[in-house]
Each structure stands twice: as structure tokens, then as C-alpha cells.
């Protein structure tokens, strides 16, 4: 049995979930509580990051590394190409998306949402252990400060991060305006990465989390700022998720 240790809100975890689902691989999801997850990840031999995939005796950490592992299984619906040149393009896109979209979407979203514990607490405890809500309610202020420090989340990085996202989205939206896929003639891990990592700024169905029907005004402003450049995300979710 494959186990996926994750945070439901994490867009990096969404990359792994989507890959497993797309390849029709059965797995068990184990939702962890931020802060308390460190004891388990240390036991698995991983520093702190999720997602973590456990497949028999093998432990794989990181969304891209998990997809690498799943591709070696040679099962359904490959997310790569046989052509070496096309695969290089896929790797280039995914690397850029992980470093730019992954980091800056997380930064932008948390900068706003951490000011709204009524929204974030259910994200952190979604389908987790029974004691999750108790711990998060008690430790939220400390947890919020720790996250801001570790992820370097502040007003200055929020603004610079948004600028980086706009530059990347200019390239992505232009590409998707004349091509259905980032690479080649079919859906690949490049498209999966793009849609998954930008999903918190779209809040699509299928993400694996119960998005609130109404978000705080400041988060809605953030969504609105990027909505035009993210029009390609929903179609990818609807067709491939």
C-alpha cells in the first residue's frame, strides 16, 4: 500500500495527489498537523517537508521526486515523454514552477490567510486526527509567527512575490493562449505542476479541500488580481483532474 503524508492545503501535496489520481494508483492519504508533523517526518528520515510518499520500504519526499518515483513504476497515464528533448522542456517548466510559482503562491496566500484564523484553522485540520483542532486553536498564534519566519513572509516579500508571479504568468498565459499544453501534444507533469501550484489562487473543485464559499475581502482581492492570467487553470482541472 502506498501512503501519502501531507497537508491538505499544500499545493505541493496537490501535485502528488493529482499525479497519483491521474495514474490511477491506489493510496492512503494521511493528513498531518503543521508543527506536530515534525515528529513523524523525522521518524521517516525526512527533515520537515511534505508531501512524503511511503511505498513499501521506500520513502520519497518532495512532489517532483514523488512523480519521478511514480513514473519509474511504468503504470497508467505517463506524465513524461519518450522524447529526450520534450522531457527536458518538461523538467525546465517544472523546475521553474516549483521555485517561482510554488514558493510565491504559498507566500502570497499565507500572507493574507494567516490574518484569518477562522479560514486557516479548518485548512490545517481537514480530515486529520481528532486532536488537531484543539492543538491548532491553542498554538495558532505561535504557529503563524513560526510560518512567517521560516517562509520569510512579510509585506515586502508579499509584494515582490506577486511581481514574480505576474512575470511568470505573462509567459504561461501567452503560451496557453495558443496551445493546450505546455509541452508536446498531451497533458504532462508540466501542466499538472502549473495548475496545481497556482490552484490556491483559483480555488478549483477537485483540489481535495473544502474551499469556503466566501473568502475574506483581502483574499478575494488577491484572487481578482490574478484571475485573468489564470483562466487556463479551471479547464485543466475539469479535463484532467
How far, CA to CA in Å, does 60 sit from each of 6, 76, 104, 133?
Answer: 12, 20, 24, 28
Q: What is the mean pLDDT of residues 59-80?
A: 93
Query: How many domains are contained in the chain?
Result: 2
State CA 20 to chain mean position distance.
Answer: 14
Phi and psi, residue 207, nearest 5°: -70, -25
Q: Are strands 27-31 and 58-61 parallel, antiparallel or unpaired?
A: unpaired
77 lies in some domain: no
Query: Does residue 58 share a domain with residue 24?
Result: yes
Read off the pLDDT band of 74 (50, 70, 90).
confident
Q: Locate the DSSP E strands across 48-93.
A: 52-55, 58-61
CA proximity to 162, closest of 121, 217, 234, 109: 109
Tens of pLDDT, residue by residue over 83-100, are 999 999 999 999 999 999
Does the residue 198 lie in any domain? yes
pLDDT in tens, 193-204: 999 999 999 999
* Residue 60 falls inside a structural domain: yes
What is the rounded average pLDDT of the residues 68-82?
A: 92
Residue 48: pLDDT band with limits 50, 70, 90: low
Going by pLDDT thresholds of 50, 70 and 90, the confidence category of residue 210 is confident
Alpha-carbon span 32 to 50, nearest angstrom:
9
pLDDT, tens only, 96-154 = 999 999 999 999 999 999 999 999 999 999 999 999 999 999 999 999 999 999 999 99
The model's pTM: 0.95
Q: Which residue range(s) make up the domain with 12? A: 2-72
CATH number at 218 reads: 1.20.1050
Which of 127, 128, 226, 210 minimizes the C-alpha distance to 170? 226
Residue 223 counted as domain residue: yes
175 in the same domain as 63? no
Answer yes or no: is 128 within a domain.
Answer: yes
Q: Domain for residue 79, yes or no?
A: no
Look up the CATH number of the domain holding residue 50: 3.40.30.10
Distance of CA 12 to the CA centre of its chain: 3
Mean pLDDT score, 55-66: 94
- Looking at the structure, do residues 131 and 209 belong to the same domain, yes or no? yes
| The predicted structure's pLDDT at residue 46 | 77
Task: Provide mean pLDDT across the span 19-27.
Answer: 96
Cβ atoms 104, 161 nearer than 8 A: yes
Question: Are both 235 and 158 inside the same structural domain?
Answer: yes
Q: Which helix (H) or strand (E) holds 108?
A: helix 103-113
**CA-CA distance, 92 to 17, in Å (whole number)?**
21
The alpha carbon dihedral of 121, 124, 130, 136 has a sign of: negative
55 shares its domain with 142:
no
Mean pLDDT of the chain: 95
End-to-end CA distance of the chain: 22
Of 18, 40, 72, the position where a domain reaches its end is 72
Mark 93-113 as b/e (b = at least 16 C-beta within 10 Å).
bbebbbebbbbbbbbbbbbbb
* DSSP 8-state assignment for residue 144: H
Residue 51: cis peptide before it, omega within 30 degrees of 0? yes
| Bridge partners for 52 per DSSP | 5, 61
The number of residues making up the chain comes to 241
* Same domain, residue pair 189 and 154: yes
12 located within any domain: yes
pLDDT for 69 beyond 90: yes
Amino acid at each position: 500500500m502506498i501512503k501519502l503524508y501531507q497537508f491538505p492545503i499544500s499545493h505541493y501535496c496537490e501535485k502528488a495527489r493529482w499525479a497519483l489520481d491521474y495514474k490511477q494508483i491506489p493510496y492512503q492519504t494521511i493528513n498531518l498537523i503543521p508543527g506536530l508533523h515534525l515528529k513523524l517526518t523525522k521518524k521517516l528520515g525526512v527533515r520537515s517537508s511534505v508531501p512524503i510518499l511511503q511505498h513499501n520500504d521506500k520513502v520519497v519526499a518532495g512532489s517532483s521526486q514523488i512523480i519521478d518515483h511514480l513514473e519509474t513504476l511504468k503504470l497508467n497515464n505517463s506524465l513524461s515523454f519518450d522524447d529526450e528533448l520534450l522531457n527536458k522542456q518538461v523538467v525546465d517548466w517544472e523546475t521553474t514552477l516549483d521555485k517561482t510559482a510554488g514558493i510565491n503562491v504559498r507566500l502570497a496566500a499565507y500572507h493574507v490567510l494567516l490574518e484569518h484564523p477562522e479560514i486557516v484553522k479548518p485548512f490545517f485540520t481537514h480530515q486529520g486526527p481528532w486532536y488537531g483542532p484543539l492543538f491548532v486553536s491553542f498554538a495558532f498564534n505561535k504557529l503563524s509567527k513560526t510560518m512567517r519566519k521560516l517562509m520569510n513572509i512579510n509585506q515586502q516579500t508579499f509584494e515582490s512575490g506577486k511581481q514574480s508571479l505576474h512575470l511568470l504568468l505573462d509567459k504561461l498565459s501567452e503560451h496557453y493562449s495558443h496551445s493546450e499544453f505546455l509541452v508536446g501534444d498531451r497533458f504532462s507533469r508540466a501542466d499538472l505542476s502549473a495548475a496545481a501550484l497556482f490552484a490556491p489562487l483559483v480555488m478549483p473543485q477537485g483540489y481535495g479541500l473544502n474551499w469556503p464559499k466566501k473568502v475574506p475581502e483581502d483574499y478575494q482581492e488577491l484572487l481578482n488580481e490574478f484571475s485573468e492570467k489564470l483562466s487556463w487553470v479551471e479547464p485543466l482541472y475539469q479535463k484532467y483532474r
